[in-house]
Structure 1
Amino acid sequence: MTGPFNGEAGVRGHRHLDLELIDDASALTDADPGGMLRATASAGAQVRESAALAAEANLEAIADEGRPRAVVVAGVGTAGRTGDILATVAGARCPVPVLSHRSAGIPGWVGVGDVVLAVSASGRSPEALAAAEAAARRGARLVAIGAPDSDLELLADRARAPFIPVPRRAPARASLWALTVPVLLAARTLGLVKVNEADLAETAARLDLDADRCRPSLESFVNPAKSLALDLGNSVPIIWGSSSLATVAARRFADTLSSNARYPAVAGSLGEANRGRVGLLDGVYGGLAEAARDIFADPDEGAADPTRLRLVLLRDGGLSDESDDQGEPLALEERRADAVQALAERRGVRVSVVTAEGGSPLERLASLVAVPDFASIYLGLAHGLDPMAVPAVSEMKELSNR
């Protein structure tokens, strides 16, 4: 990962952040009373635990009727991201459509030939519960994934459908890997995705390694998550992925920036950037602001630095099922990434790069998610925010349930 946090210039550029806190392990622990850092560091353990729990479920029952016509992954928030992960890990060669469904119920065309995966970290999501009820009523095969002893488990029991219990972690965004692994293993049972035990073990090991690299006791100059958090300070992040896998990670990063750091972010694929969004680089937060800046002004006097764009490129150069044998589609995206980075730098828009590592698509995805997950937490803590408690989310639930 690269980023321009160097000495005094970096400190002045992030004057609104508590720079002393971000490199004080004890202060970070005090500022994180709910243990969001600790919960995020459990990602590798989540992979192992959920794989074991899925192995105990009777998933073979859903394969008895053969390959489905389509798979619908029903859930919202983090649960909804599991459908995106399944679709991109399965790749373009997946023999059936995979749909992420984020509203109540299920599409009208779903019936006896289809499979519905209802996912909810709490087991109480209205969207997942409605999807499970509709799937059972229409005769679709159902797999439910969520907290044990929940409404979702009761529904699955009544429908005689497999249920994979996922130990409850609050908030749900700390359970991405606990929810994702059962979804992948259910799809593997149906013959739709190639994820073996070695892939899961390597993914868990990658998440463990990144958790160690991003631990609170490591200072920012050797901690990639703290460095990325400092890069993003007082900016409007634009997060683009160079492949479908990296785009899922980009959208996950925007999710965690919103919740953990309360930062707005633009996220998507380089293909979307190429179709017009790259114009942001010339806008009032990009090149236009840079052109108006007085390079002779004393940064220690006057108003704070203006809010600027920060481009974050998530780069995935590995071959996957989305490419042909020569990797040409991914090679095109990598050329686009080079071009976008050059355009940004010409306009004075600073760039941070996170590069995928690992062999399997799942491990590469993990390498693109782990550091940004921690970065969003450090960014929130440095602004004096508790990443575990998001009052607006709680209030929204109260207002919508009246």
Structure 2
Amino acid sequence: MGAPIDGSAGVRGHRHLDEALLDDVAALASNDPGGMMRATAGAGAQVREATALTAEVNLSQLADEGRPRAIVIAGAGTAARSGDVLATVAGPRCPVPVLAHRSSGVPGWVGAADVVIAVSASGRSPEALAAAEAATRRGARLVAIGAPDSPLQSVAERGRSPFVPVPRRAPARASLWALTVPVLLAARALGLVKVTEADLAETASRLDADADRCRPTAESFVNPAKTMALSLAGSVPVVWGSSPLATMAARRFGDTLSANARYPVVTGELGEAGRGRVGLLDGYFGALAESQRDIFADPDEEEEASSRLSVTLLQDGGLADDEISAPAGVEERRIEAVQEICERRGIRWTLLTAEGGSVLERFASLVAVPDFASIYLSLAHGLDPMAVPAVTELKEKLRG
């Protein structure tokens, strides 16, 4: 896959971002003591390990009772994203509803006819534990996915339900693939998705290749993640996906930009944005900010006075007859229209187009580069992407 395509209109300074640091391998490593870059580079290995671990678990009992009425993926944060990925990969032709449930417990209608997949990287999240316990009480089929020797494993074992042990090697947000692959394979055991071994192998290879292109030793002018980080620096990012698959990748990018780089971000589906959110481009952080600039002002002071939007467009690029792709030509027309609107308003835009044969590989191609971009953006601002003090503080206060 080629590098992201940039529209350079309206580019200004990078606002306290150390651009030179992006090509200083030693400095990057120093700013990343927790190893978030290394954890993210292991995404392909996560796919392979999770595939192997899931194969060791007997999921055939899930299908013994036939097709479920609905499937609920319960968890919080990245664990819940795994449910969103399943819903997107299953697509609108899925014969049963697929719901990502982020609250404690399970929906009131869940019963013996349904399947609940409880997911938690730590195996300790209240949402996943409460969902697993509720599913067992109600007689629903349960699959649990999380850290071995955790409370979640204990709940699954008490209910004689399958448990997929996923070693916790990194924070949940860097473990998307470790959590998602078992969810997909559980759904495959139920006959709800078509994910082949070849799909998984090609997805892992895609993630490996993108990790190599985005490695710290690759300089900015050939590193698509560093290029993307520079295009976002000092801006308020707006990330829009052109299809359900691309929108899922856009939301994932929003997660990593917020957690890794501490950037506020707007995400959504491009078609829906056209009904309202595209108006952001004319607002205080968009064209209005440009029109109010004092041409005689000091550029540095002017840059401090007003943030600018940057628009990142994620395009699926799937086959026209794919059930989760937009109708032929619609994606391209929407993308081109937004690019032209950005150009006229002096707003920088970046386009990343998916590649790959399967739905899963295309999704991987839209996730990998942005994952690394969020880390480079964090490191160039002097932030440790692994440590998020506000999140830790919030958890401590809630436990207290």
Pairwise TM-score range, normalised by the shorter structure: over 0.9
- Report if the CA contact (8 A) 2:115-2:140 is conserved: yes
Write the distance in 2 (CA, Å) between the matches of 1:320 and 1:116: 33
Read off the aligned partner of 2:380 and give its amino acid letter. A
Map of 1:119-198 to 2, 5 A cutoff?
Answer: 119-198=119-198
Aligned residues: 397
- Report if the CA contact (8 A) 2:36-2:375 is conserved: yes
Look up the match of 1:52.
52
What SS class does the counterpart of residue 358 from structure 1 fall into? Answer: coil
Read off the aligned partner of 2:71 and give its amino acid letter. V
- Report if the CA contact (8 A) 1:225-1:378 is conserved: yes
Structure 1: runs of 5 or more not aligned: none
- Report if the CA contact (8 A) 1:79-1:119 is conserved: yes
Read off the aligned partner of 1:286 and give its amino acid letter. G
What SS class does the counterpart of residue 155 from structure 2 fall into? Answer: helix
Structure 2: runs of 5 or more not aligned: none
Write the distance in 2 (CA, Å) between the matches of 1:320 and 1:343: 25
Map of 1:255-294 to 2, 5 A cutoff?
Answer: 255-294=255-294
What SS class does the counterpart of residue 44 from structure 1 fall into? Answer: helix
Read off the aligned partner of 2:18 and give its amino acid letter. D
CA offsets 1:67-119 (integer angstroms, 9 cap, x no match): 00000000110000000100011111111000000000000000000000000
Look up the match of 2:37.
37
- Report if the CA contact (8 A) 1:92-1:322 is conserved: no
- Report if the CA contact (8 A) 1:91-1:322 is conserved: no
Write the distance in 2 (CA, Å) between the matches of 1:343 and 1:310: 12
Query: Please, which moves more after superposition, 36-45 or 300-309?
Result: 300-309
- Report if the CA contact (8 A) 1:93-1:322 is conserved: no
Write the distance in 1 (CA, Å) between the matches of 2:395 and 2:173: 16
Matched, 1:354 2:352: yes
Write the distance in 2 (CA, Å) between the matches of 1:185 and 1:21: 41
Matched, 1:386 2:389: no
Look up the match of 2:14.
14
Return closer, same or farther for 1:250/1:302 CA change in 2, 3 Å cut-off: closer
Look up the match of 2:116.
116
Map of 1:242-391 to 2, 5 A cutoff?
Answer: 242-295=242-295, 299=299, 304=304, 306-319=306-319, 323=323, 329=327, 331-391=329-389
Write the distance in 1 (CA, Å) between the matches of 2:271 and 2:223: 30
Read off the aligned partner of 1:29 and give its amino acid letter. A
Write the distance in 1 (CA, Å) between the matches of 2:196 and 2:323: 21
CA offsets 1:26-69 (integer angstroms, 9 cap, x no match): 11011100000000000000000000000000111111001000
Return closer, same or farther for 1:25/1:354 CA change in 2, 3 Å cut-off: same
Write the distance in 1 (CA, Å) between the matches of 2:172 and 2:301: 43
What SS class does the counterpart of residue 13 from structure 1 fall into? Answer: coil
Q: 2:5 aligns with which of 2, 8, 17?
A: 2
Q: 1:397 aligns with which of 377, 392, 395?
A: 395
- Report if the CA contact (8 A) 2:15-2:303 is conserved: no
What SS class does the counterpart of residue 268 from structure 1 fall into? Answer: strand
Query: Please, which moves more after superposition, 14-23 or 185-194?
Result: 14-23
Write the distance in 2 (CA, Å) between the matches of 1:393 and 1:330: 42
Return closer, same or farther for 1:301/1:266 CA change in 2, 3 Å cut-off: closer
Write the distance in 1 (CA, Å) between the matches of 2:136 and 2:286: 51
Read off the aligned partner of 2:383 and give its amino acid letter. L
Q: TM-score, normalising length from structure 1?
A: 0.95
Read off the aligned partner of 2:88 and give its amino acid letter. T
Query: Please, which moves more after superposition, 332-341 or 246-255?
Result: 332-341
CA offsets 1:265-301 (integer angstroms, 9 cap, x no match): 0001012201100100000110111222345666367
- Report if the CA contact (8 A) 1:320-1:361 is conserved: no
Read off the aligned partner of 1:23 and give its amino acid letter. D
Write the distance in 1 (CA, Å) between the matches of 2:249 and 2:321: 17
- Report if the CA contact (8 A) 1:89-1:361 is conserved: yes
What SS class does the counterpart of residue 175 from structure 2 fall into? Answer: helix
RMSD: 1.8
What SS class does the counterpart of residue 329 from structure 1 fall into? Answer: coil
Return closer, same or farther for 1:300/1:175 CA change in 2, 3 Å cut-off: closer
Write the distance in 2 (CA, Å) between the matches of 1:263 and 1:25: 23
Read off the aligned partner of 1:71 and give its amino acid letter. I
Using the TM superposition, give the Cα deviation of residue 392 of structure 1 relative to its aligned residue in structure 2, in angstroms: 0.6
- Report if the CA contact (8 A) 1:243-1:330 is conserved: no
Using the TM superposition, give the Cα deviation of residue 179 of structure 1 relative to its aligned residue in structure 2, in angstroms: 0.3
Using the TM superposition, give the Cα deviation of residue 171 of structure 1 relative to its aligned residue in structure 2, in angstroms: 1.2
CA offsets 1:197-251 (integer angstroms, 9 cap, x no match): 0000000000000000000001111100001001100100000000000001000
Read off the aligned partner of 1:118 and give its amino acid letter. A
- Report if the CA contact (8 A) 1:238-1:311 is conserved: yes
Write the distance in 2 (CA, Å) between the matches of 1:161 and 1:330: 43
Write the distance in 2 (CA, Å) between the matches of 1:14 and 1:139: 55
Write the distance in 2 (CA, Å) between the matches of 1:232 and 1:288: 19
Read off the aligned partner of 1:279 and give its amino acid letter. G
CA offsets 1:135-186 (integer angstroms, 9 cap, x no match): 0000000000000000000000000000001110231111000000000000
Write the distance in 2 (CA, Å) between the matches of 1:32 and 1:266: 26
